[in-house]
Amino acid sequence: MTSTHDGAVRQFTVGYDDEGVRLDRWFKRHLPQVGFATVSRWARTGQLRVDGKRADPADRLTTGQVLRVPPAGSAVKVGQGPRPRTPLTDEQIDLAESMAIHRDRAAIVLNKPPGLATQGGSGTYEHVDGLLDAFAPDGPRPRLVHRLDKDTSGVLLVAATAGSAAFFSKRFSGRTARKIYWALIVGVPSVDEGLIELPLAKQPGTGGEKMMVDQTEHGMPARTRYKVLDRAGNSTAWVELQPLTGRTHQLRVHMAAIGHPIVGDGKYAGQEAFLSGSISRKMHLHARRLIIEHPDGTPLDVTAPLPHHFAASMEQLGFREEDGEDVDLGPPEAPREVKKAAAKAHAKQYRKERRGERRRRVDGPGQTGKPTSTRAPSRAGAAKPAPRSGPAKGAPSRSGPSKSGAPRSGPPKSGPPRGRPR
């Protein structure tokens, strides 16, 4: 982003890092001391403009656009963030760089080791998020766009800029990103390939640290596709897992729920998750591969090598990594927008069919809803007309007054007159 002075007004050129960012978030990022109320007032009074046109706080910016900021915002230092950066040690910088397996101007892909948390929390001080300054000591700070469990290893995507963070986040939320995991599980499923559909919810009393299957209205939909790649007798299987939804601990809970917990996952299976012999007691769940659209329009396809304990267990059990490289991944999950459009079209077609059914019930078989004859119905079969309150105001009466003096509501009766003839 660049800025220029035009008298007391300041102008900023939107940079690549801010592609697709909302205008109010741009202020929060670059001019944090200008509150949302001020931004809204500037927009309402026409003082805030993008490429010379009035702007709204919800407008999204495009690289190269010129943003006009009123004088009150020019005293704020551009790029000043709310959180100062903590200097990293040489060991931390080396750890961060050793994890990187792919880097470009939009993305940094890491191979996260098991035991390292993705983000900080209560009592967690060493985490991936705290190491990201190593990749941009002087530029915009990289941002996490998804996460892995502490004991899960493998592919972790980090956005190099704010613009790419918004781009990748949309792909994850829209479920167009494909995540492929490898796992060693206890036992062998009776069906080699299938789809697990079990809703999940937080387990009460665990503070949200543990999930459970919940098939009530409180459970959130969760789907996992699995495929057995190889087996070691009846004791252990090597499986490929694809989460089609992104629930916390989804893969771990689903595999434990079908009676085949992930090896080393004592949290959800207790002692049943550990194999005898020299197999490591660490969790054997690895984010092997990520396929996601890149901002430049080409797919980003990255594979992460196995951690040492996982590779050693594979060798001891007689599994070969190359046997899992060319496995058919199956059809991709339809994007959420596509599903919504299909559901809307189905509902529209259903309503149309229902209207047709109602017409057929009213008209009877073979009827189209139009009268087939112009002959008036007989008195015996005619429905009684609704009572009238009298002729319209100003309309001439077609009959004489009634006994009460009010005009008659219907035509005069035919036939001989009543009473004595005069």
Which residues are identified as catalytic?
Answer: 149
Assign 3-class secondary structure to the chain.
Answer: CEEEEECCEEEEECCHHHCCCEHHHHHHHHCCCCCHHHHHHHHHCCCCEECCEECCCCCECCCCCEEEECHHHCCCCCCCCCCCCCCCCHHHHHHHHHHEEEECCCEEEEEECCCCECCCECCECCECHHHHHHHCCCCCCCEECCCCCCCCEEEEEEECCHHHHHHHHHHHHCCCCEEEEEEEEECCCCCCEEEEECCEEECCCCCCCCEEECCCCCCECCEEEEEEEEEECCCEEEEEEEECCCCCCHHHHHHHHCCCCECCCHHHHHHHHCCCCCCCCCCCEEEEEEEEECCCCCEEEEECCCCHHHHHHHHHHCCCHHHHCCCCCCCCCCCHHHHHHHHHHHHHHHHHHHHHHHHHHHHCCCCCCCCCCCCCCCCCCCCCCCCCCCCCCCCCCCCCECCCCCECCCCCCCCCCCCCCC
Tokens coding 11: 């102008």
Tokens 């396929």 sit on residue = 291
The 10 Å Cβ neighbour count of residue 366 is 7
User: Contact at 8 Å (CB) between 325 and 180?
Assistant: no
Task: Provide the CA 106 distance to its chain's centre, in angstroms.
Answer: 21
The 10 Å Cβ neighbour count of residue 159 is 24
User: Contact at 8 Å (CB) between 3 and 30?
Assistant: no
Tokens 């190491």 sit on residue = 131
